[in-house]
Amino acid sequence: MNRETEARTRPIGMFDSGVGGLSVLGEAVRQLPHEDFIYYGDNGHAPYGTKPPETVRKLAFDVIERLLVQNVKAVVIACNTATAEAAKELREHYSIPIIGMEPALKPAAEMEGDGLRLVLATPGTLSSEKYARLYARFGQNAVSLPCPGLMDFVEAGDRGSPALRDYLKCLLSPYLDRQVTAVVLGCTHYPFIRSLIASYFPLSTRIVDGNAGTVRQLGRVLAQRGLLNPTGEGSVALQTSGDSHTLNLMRRMFEEAKAIR
């Protein structure tokens, strides 16, 4: 195997604070079926979204070091909070491509309609400088809704318990009698409860996330650097800083993620 072939066939690393990034992984295996992926869920330190920025940065560096030992050719930060707090520093420190997430506020802003754009995200994402810059450009009709604890429901495998429904009703009730053009899922956990969130709004309200755009960017960067793998079946390895129960949950949720559209 020559050097170019070896570089193309190396795996892609992907990580999140827990299971949420599996929604990105599901999109990645659809768009890039020939690639091998190593997904690391840092469940032992979840959630990231309510931690201080310096803690999130340290955790992100620790995870990337774990992935680099496994010879990854690129890393996807499948976490909006970790992207907001650590992507700049990680790119300055490492030479491999590092692809991040951001709430899909730009696509939502470009949709037709004068209604609100509700951005659901963790407090860490919404308080970051990166989000502030995004909001300054595309937030004219946007309302930012911090959702502390919402990812915990998803992390526990909850898709519609009375407690989760009460949480969403309290969060969304001020906007249910107003025109809402789009709801932005600004955390990679939230696509797992997309249908439940959508049920609070008319069918005309668009529910959007950044997963597909992030994976398209990953494909573009790999192609530009000659790292895109054009052949092979592709594979997925799931890893976690949690326990065996967590790993079993990740396996079930990955199968679910592959069906998310």
In the chain, % helix, strand, coil (3-state, to 5) comes to 50, 15, 35
Give residue limits of the domains in the chain: 3-101+211-257, 105-209
Peptide bond into 47 cis (omega under 30): yes
Q: Which residues contact 22 (CB under 8 A, 6 or more apart)?
A: 16, 39, 41, 78, 188, 250, 253, 254, 256, 257
The string of pLDDT tens digits covering residues 187-226 is 999 999 999 999 999 999 999 999 999 999 999 999 999 9
| From 104, 187, 207, 249, active-site residue | 187
Report the alpha-carbon distance of residue 3 to residue 83 in Å, rounded.
31
Active-site residue, 187 included:
yes
Active-site residue, 147 included:
no
Kindly tell me if the per-residue pLDDT of 5 is higher than 90: no
Q: Which residues contact 116 (CB under 8 A, 6 or more apart)?
A: 141, 142, 143, 175, 178, 179, 180, 181
CATH class of 3-101+211-257: alpha beta
- For residue 201, the cross-strand partners are none
Torsion angle, alpha carbons of 74, 14, 88, 227, to 10: 10
Report the alpha-carbon distance of residue 40 to residue 63 in Å, rounded.
8
Kindly tell me if the per-residue pLDDT of 22 is higher than 70: yes
Kindly tell me if the per-residue pLDDT of 137 is higher than 70: yes
The string of pLDDT tens digits covering residues 172-188 is 999 999 999 999 999 99
CB 212 within 8 A of CB 191: no
pTM value is 0.94
CATH topology identical between 3-101+211-257 and 105-209: yes
CATH of 105-209, one of 3.40.30.10, 3.40.50.970, 3.40.50.300, 3.40.50.1860: 3.40.50.1860
Torsion angle, alpha carbons of 90, 147, 193, 106, to 10: -60
Confidence band for 4, pLDDT divided at 50, 70 and 90: confident
| From 14, 79, 126, 134, active-site residue | 79
* pLDDT value, residue 1: 65
